[in-house]
Structure 1
Amino acid sequence: MRTLPLFTITTLTLTAAPALAAENLTIVETVIDRPTVVTLGVQVLIGDDDDRDAAIELRYRAMGEAAWQVGAPLYRVRPEVVNLQVPQQFAGSVFDLRPDTTYELELHAVDPDGLDETWTVTATTRPVPGDPAAPKVIPVSDAGELGDALGAAQPGDVIELADGTYGGTWSIESSGTADDPIVVRGASTGGTILDGEGAGGNVVEVYGSHVHIERLTIRSANRAIRFQTAGAEGNVVRRVHIEDVNLGIGAREDQLDFYICDNTLVGPLAWPNVYSDDGGVNANVDGIVVQGFGHVVCHNEMVGWGDAIKTAQDGARAIDIYGNITRSAYDNAIELDGSTGNTRAMRNLLLNSYSPLSFQPIFGGPAYALRNVVVNVKDEQTKLHANSDTGETVGAVILHNTFVSPSRANQVQTTDTAHDFRLLNNLYVTRAEPEGGQTVLFSAPSAHAEIDYNGYWPDGQFEFEGVGDYPDFAAMQAAGVFEAHGTLLGDDIFASGYVAPASYMPVVEEVDVSLSQSSLAVDAGAPLTGFGGFLGAAPDLGALEAGCAAPHYGPRPENVDETAPAPACGDSGGENVGRGDVGRRRRRRVPTPAAVRPATVRRAVAIPQAAPIRRAATRARPRPRPPVTARPAGTRRAPRPAMARAIRARPPVRTARARVVAAARPRARRRRCCWSCSHSPVAGGDERTCMSSPCSVSSPAPCPRRTTRSSTVRSSTSRCSRSPSAPPPARATAGSPSPTPRS
């Protein structure tokens, strides 16, 4: 197998317990993936832990800052079912970082079999690509001058094209450097045109590294741009308009650290032409293709492509795809196929897609789909399929997405097993009468799947291959396999009143799927530390937290980039304090299993491409790991054991007590009333008696004191009211006939 280009982290001596048996986790090596502009990925290579009861938590802070931020716990990879050479490991990403900033990452590994170990590594995010440090401006105004300038290009050259049409095809053989790239830039995107005049190849071919192509229109050929050299590094396409081509931007294997952002690509296909119409003949009419590691594809606008944005190399890692808007995709809007881990599709707007998010396959993961808005899906929302050549998918992490589809709310149709995936805090909405009466048709067999805290509308059949076919949501939930904490929504979901289209064929141009303040999706999610903040008692379901501004999708205004990120909204659910920060204001903590803080923290040094230095097998005193305990009666329901590790939200320094902290900040149109309910059997169901009181002294508004009503749902305990005068609503129980399952 080819060795993947990674940065390894050389750690100094650590205090650790010796492995007592194969059940005790052994830390082998810490690896930092290639950094991107706003994200860092980490792998902790391990041995043993055959009983899989170990966990690794993560905190981070910018170098020199006192306060720690709590990141997402690392994800345990299952390489034994991967058809690619992947080591045993924990892996994960740290999101929403600042460009060109060095961070400390503190890792805390605990195994009840005897290991408790903490260590620190450092890593630096990439800067946003900029102009040369020593620019040499070369003005050109016709095709001859452009050809001469490209042929003689040297590091630091800024080749500035006057407005006009430049006919022909162009090749750039030279390379710039990281500090002094070669820049090819038009006077204006609309006015400076490279016209391929119908060429059967590429309008622009780039053979070097650190070449920037900016502010141009490229048109009239088979493909607009191709980066032709395997292993090329640091190339940029920015503020380019591409049209009248069959293919957009192409790549070669093992390329590194590209930045393809703020472009508009118009492809040759038209909605509603989709994959199932013609057997996929246009599936490889690709918009943006990247191969290799460390790429950023952001804030592009895509329309008319087979696959709009895709990874195309098995083993790819550390790729960010964010802020894009895809307006039509004949097949996949975003394709993470073949990636090994720490590939991330986040905060994209995906409209009019056959199967918008593809994981066919993932080689271990985690491959993230986070806070994407997905509207008008023809087929499957998330394609958890195998590849006939490379095996089944393993390690998709699908969190906080909003899916609105005209056929079914969630559909996966394959006979291949999907392994070790997570569907949490998503919002699945379809039309009032879903196809075949099926709200969910999940025909893929699943292994080690975690499906919980999702919201659905409407009620209907819920079919899960190998698990059960349930007539309605209540029956599915009562079975106790999936959605122990899921929510059946009412029809008041979106503030705009938007409903799922009756058919996929009309083009959806614009859509507002921000939540209604009275939606049952509000505050219904699990607190997942490290994946964005929330405002209320718990995260809202779906991509958009009520009360927070929606992300910007598509090209950004001139001179706006990641150096000026949008302000964060809400509470991340963890604490941002370090040891000794007594008296500092603390963020709200979400209840999690308690952990014991190790006594020592050692620092590590990042050395790119260095051979690993293994930790010393020094004996340390085993530390106890407190058990997971349920919350007191009358508070929000505790996560089931399978969820505990996924929503661990505080670092090892935390104490063992569990508590509920109401939000002190005001929130429009929400009353902070805390409810506790009891149940007693009555004819035809049970009777629920609820008492309310203000959640905290900062919420002094009067609350209704007592209400009683009957329902036919199982007993439950709700925490906060949805309106000023009523306790939490009961879940609906409507059912629908069971059609014959599709093959």
Structure 2
Amino acid sequence: MTGLHHWWRRLLALGALANALALWAGENASTPGEIQVEPATLHCLAVRWPVRGDDNANAVISVQFRRAGEGAWRQGFPLFRTIRSATREQRNQWSFKGIPADRLPGGWIFAGSVVDLVPETEYEVKLSLKDPDGGDAEKVLKMSTIGEPREPAGMRVRHVVPEDSSGGPPDAIRGLPAAVAAMEPGDLFLLHKGRYEIKGALELKKSGVAGKPIIFRGAGDGEAVIDGGGDDTTKGRLVSANGVKHIWLEGLTLQGRQYAIVAHEGSNWVIRRCKFQKMEKGFTAHNGGYSVSRGHFISDCVFIGPTTWPRTKGIEAPCATYMSGSGHVVAYNRMQNLGDGTHGTGHGNWSACDIHNNDVTVCTDDGFEADYGETNIRVFRNRIVNVAHGITAQPAQGGPLYFYRNFIYNATYSPFKLHNDTCGVLIFHNTCLRNGPCFIIQPGGETVTDVVTRNNLFLGTGGAALPTTGRMINCDFDNDGFGGFTGPFAQWNGKTYKTADDAKAAGIIYGQHGAIILDPKAIFASGLVPPAEPKTQFMGQELDYRLKDGGPAVDRGVVLPNFSDGFKGKAPDLGALELGEAMPYFGPRPKP
């Protein structure tokens, strides 16, 4: 071989190596895609940002935000890196009708929310992608929160009385079927007191439009009852409205049929200050998926089902809402004697929805199901009492799902249910008291992936603090307070950790700051402790979970940007409330 040939072969080899290194660097570098702005709610904004490359997963997207026109930026919580590809087990459990099962081939979807914002306000949100391997990018978005729905000006007012009524205005429409047959966008029907009997189903086939909804409202002269004549076991629908949009129901009572309202593939329903009783399902609206069903607003309602405490049957079906889609708000409702407060569905999935300030008591299955949530489902500042499970993600489909600042008392199984190969749940600043082990995660041998906990209070009366049976994968548990357990601290991936110090030393769970061990009797100013008898039906309004000044939960948290803002001491406090903070308002608000 001549020297020329030798050097030529060396150059070819070096060139191939250079190309390989360039290809490797290119895969590790980030290539950001187009940001998707998710539907806004009253208090939250959200995005998804696809990023290709970053094979070594070292890119970070930080978040800052401010009111439009203000100078100083506030720090937000970083965007969450969702799972790159669903596992075989996850594919068997998950139901993808929005984000595909393989997420983003050759890349990642980052997603996240800015929370605790002011309604009807414009914000600037700055997203900064940093990758040591290249591909840095910065984007500033203008985004606005929504306001509570307000009646548009210029609505045509039409009076309605029951068919058998002898009173009412002389021009009143007699009976709801006649009103529905005549309805047009921009109509406001005032239903005068009485019983509106519905035989069969009340079929709504016409929609309102943006700016011109169709409103059915109690006239204010007494209770207006839409009655199917039966109870929760009476088959069928009371109101049937598949594909119908921009309908408002206000100040009405709905009863007497298994399904009170069914509005599959509908959007922009407003259900406010209504009472649901003698029913199994309150508002059912799925099959629509991310882009079809948007913007339902359900507030200040009362949902009363047929279940009793303690639970004496298997899983019971009654629930207040049963929805898929995006941009929904479920707030300030009272939900009682049900199976679930909100029922999750794989029929369409859901994202970018808020469930907050609700008052739940006696749900024999789950307080709130965020099941089949994809991105940016937020469950916060709810009071959940007398339930089997407080809040569930079975499964979360990549996330993030945010569960924060909830009060959960007497969850007989666990405060948070993480089953069905769940993935992508952030659990921050919750106060949870139950009888037995503090926080149980026992989905058999299923996977539990990408779950993060911080600054929670998990208080029990015996057993292990954190018994798990699932295969815990890439989970980050740290800086939570535990108290009242009598057994080992944790069971995790088949190994038992006798003490919190053992867990920290192993570096697997609670490895950075560690778990904080507390005396439950010393935490709350009221002397509140975990329930001694889970069969007791506790009254939520009697449970005061404000912290005790100088107690062991004060100043023990870590800073979580946007989730622990406004703390007053040296550090955030553990649990749902800061010291000196009033308890939130739960359930229907007083009429303005």
TM-score tier (shorter): 0.7 to 0.9
SS at match of 1:46: strand
Select the residue among 176, 182, 198 that pairs with 1:146: 176
What is the number of residues matched between the two proteins? 527
What is the CA distance between 1:19 and its match in structure 2?
Answer: 9.6
Task: Provide Cα deviations, 1:486-542, integer angstroms capped at 9, x if missing partner.
Answer: 211123011100111112110011311111112211111110001142111111111
Match in the other structure for 1:222:
258
Counterpart of 2:406? 372
SS in structure 1 at match of 2:352? strand
Aligned to 2:149: 129
The whole-number CA distance in structure 2 between the counterparts of 1:140 and 1:463 is: 62
Change in 2 beyond 3 A, CA 1:475/1:459: farther
Q: 1:512 is paired with a residue of what secondary structure?
A: coil
Which residue type is aligned with residue 225 of structure 1?
I
**1:294-693 alignment runs, 5 A limit:** 294-313=327-346, 314-386=348-420, 392-414=421-443, 415-431=445-461, 434=462, 437-460=463-486, 461-466=488-493, 468-483=495-510, 484-485=512-513, 486-490=515-519, 491-510=521-540, 511-533=543-565, 534-559=567-592
Q: Which moved more, 1:461-470 or 1:365-374?
A: 461-470
4+ residue stretches of structure 1 with deviation over 4 A? none
Note the C-alpha offset of 1:123: 2.3
The Cα offsets for residues 106-142 of structure 1, whole Å up to 9 and x where unpaired, read as 1111112234321212223233211123211111122
Distance of aligned partners of 1:503 and 1:36 in 2 relative to their CA distance in 1, 3 Å threshold: same
**Partners of 1:404 and 1:502 in 2: CA distance:** 10
Change (3 A) 1:367 1:190: farther
The answer to whether the 8 A contact 2:326-2:350 is kept is yes
Secondary structure in structure 2 of the residue aligned to 1:308: strand
- Does structure 2 conserve the Cα–Cα contact (< 8 Å) formed by 1:248 and 1:267? no
Gaps of 5+ in 1: 1-17, 387-391, 560-743
**Mapping 1:95-114, distance limit 5 Å:** 95-114=115-134
Q: How far off its partner does 1:64 sit?
A: 2.8
| TM-score (normalised: structure 1) | 0.68
SS in 2 for 1:411: coil
Is this contact kept in 2: 1:189–1:240, CA < 8 A? no
Query: Does the CA-based 8 Å contact 1:380-1:412 persist in structure 2?
Result: yes
Superposed CA RMSD in Å reads 2.0
Q: Distance in 2 between matches of 1:379 and 1:505?
A: 12
Once the 2 structures are TM-superposed, how far is the Cα of residue 393 of structure 1 from its aligned partner?
1.1
The Cα of 1:285 is off from its aligned counterpart by 2.2
1:3-18 correspondence to structure 2 within 5 Å: none
Aligned to 2:11: none
SS of residue in 1 equivalent to 2:502: helix
Structure 2 equivalent of residue 656 of structure 1: none
1:321-341: CA deviations, max 9, x gaps? 111111011111111111111
Per-residue deviation at 1:401?
0.6
Q: What aligned pairs does 1:265-280 form with structure 2 within 5 A after superposition? A: 265-273=303-311, 278-280=313-315
Tell me the alpha carbon deviations over residues 388-442 of structure 1, each in whole angstroms, 9 at most, x when there is no partner: xxxx2110111111110011111111211100110111100112xx1xx322212
Cα distance in 2 for residues equivalent to 1:131 and 1:107 = 35
Q: Is this contact kept in 2: 1:183–1:213, CA < 8 A?
A: yes
**Whole-Å separation in 2 of the counterparts to 1:189 and 1:324:** 28
Contact conserved, 2:460 with 2:485, CA < 8 A, in 1?
Answer: no
Asked if the contact 1:133–1:156 (Cα under 8 Å) also holds between the matched residues in 2, the reply is no
Distance across 1 between alignment mates of 2:464 and 2:145: 45
Q: What is the rounded CA distance, in whole Å, between the counterparts of 2:138 and 2:278 in structure 1?
A: 55
For 1:61 and 1:480, locate their aligned partners in 2 and report how far apart those are by CA, in whole Å.
Answer: 37
Q: Percent identity?
A: 32
CA distance in 1, matches of 2:313, 2:362: 17
Say if 2:381 and 2:406, in contact at 8 Å, map to a contact too: yes
AA aligned opposite 1:156: G
Asked if the contact 1:535/1:547 (under 8 Å) is kept, the reply is: no
Q: What stretches of structure 2 of length at least 5 have no aligned partner? A: 1-22, 92-100, 164-173
Between Structure 1 and Structure 2, the one with more helix by share is 2
Of the candidates 271, 290, 296, which is equivalent to residue 323 of structure 2? 290
Cα separation, 1, equivalents of 2:439 and 2:221: 40
Equivalent position of 1:69 in the other structure: 74
Which runs of structure 2 are paired with 1:160-179 in the superposition (5 Å)? 160-168=190-198, 169-179=201-211
1:263 aligns with 2:263: no
- 2:37 is matched with 32
User: CA offset at residue 447 of structure 1?
Assistant: 0.8
CA deviations on 1:421-476 (whole Å, 9 max, x unpaired) are 10111100112xx1xx3222122221111100100102531222326312233333
Name the SS for the 1:150 alignment partner.
Answer: helix
The CA deviation string for residues 243-301 of structure 1, in whole angstroms up to 9 with x for no partner, is: 1112221113222110011100000111111xxx5443x2x322211111111111110
Structure with the greater relative contact order (CA < 8 A, sep ≥ 6): 1 or 2? 1
Partner Cα separation in structure 1 for residue 440 and residue 518 of structure 2: 18
Partner Cα separation in structure 2 for residue 64 and residue 472 of structure 1: 51
